Structure 1
Amino acid sequence: MLDRSHALPLAAQARELGISRCAVYDKPAPACQADLTLMRRIDELHLDFPFAGSRMMQGLLMGDGFAVGRRHVVTLMKRMGIEALYRKPNTSKPAPGYKIYPYLLRGLTVDRPNQVWAMDITCIPMARGFVYLAAVVDWFSRKVLAWRLSITLGTDFCIEALEEALARF
């Protein structure tokens, strides 16, 4: 990336690449022996428990006799490129071919109640599974007009919340 034999000074090369000058001259300090021992054990534990995050990893290390804080475990895991493997939510990615609708409220001033309503569905993690909350909100007053809970992500509880909001307001 940086060429020390180039006619352009290193400071100018760093400016062109958008990095700071201190990053050019800074030499990373090598890890101490205690950190290397910890990182070796974290690697072994990660192979046995790939789903373990920093909290669980700290508990496993404490069980092995290592006195280490969770923040230090986070730092070492980041340095090693280790991350807990678990299924992350994938709710914001549209399906291929999904139609994108235009935003019809751009430029509209909301200045009275019942002018604009919004509906939101939120996934709430519980001890065993998930609960889904559908809420109808008035944008002007930010009042929750109606809400419903469901253990499945169907349309029926959303329609019930909307019908209740229409009936009451």
Structure 2
Amino acid sequence: MEKRNHYSPEFKSQVVLEVLREEATVNEIATKYGVHPVMVSRWKQEFVERASEVFKKGPSEAEKKLEAEQKHVADLERKVGQLTYEVDWLKKKSDELLGPGWKKKMR
């Protein structure tokens, strides 16, 4: 089975911009970059469809999702910090109340 190629967004945009300049045909540009012409056409279509997103105000859906995930992670990290603090406090108080060797006695 053949391994799929993964192209960077920068590479794709470079190819599409060259296609949009119309200095050469799609087939010539595809040959130049070693990409199938159908793939270049797909990239061009996707590029044109999403062009309006560049001028939208405010965060994109992906940015909103990333921000929500970052907030969730921060909340979880705060919770872990709080729980760690509480466990350390309980260990300290247990040592004070039951003596330093209380763990061995409980086994």
TM-score by length of 2: 0.32
> For the pair shown, which has the larger CA radius of gyration, 1 or 2?
2
Give the structure with the larger helix fraction: 2
